[in-house]
Amino acid sequence: NFNNQSYFTKVFKKFTEVTPKQYRKQYTIY
């Protein structure tokens, strides 16, 4: 259960310097 979604987004943005939404839009996995 991912209750710390905001934390994940914070870390994700810190490493990728982009939001998960933008990342998914640029690099579509599926």
Q: Report CA-CA distances (Å) from 19 to 5, 14, 26.
A: 12, 9, 11
What gap in Å lies between CA 5 and CA 2, rounded to an integer?
6
Query: To which residue do tokens 């934390």 refer?
Result: 7
Six token digits for residue 18 = 């982009």
How does pLDDT run along the chain (30 residues), one tens digit per residue?
A: 556 677 777 777 777 666 667 766 766 665
Model pTM?
0.35
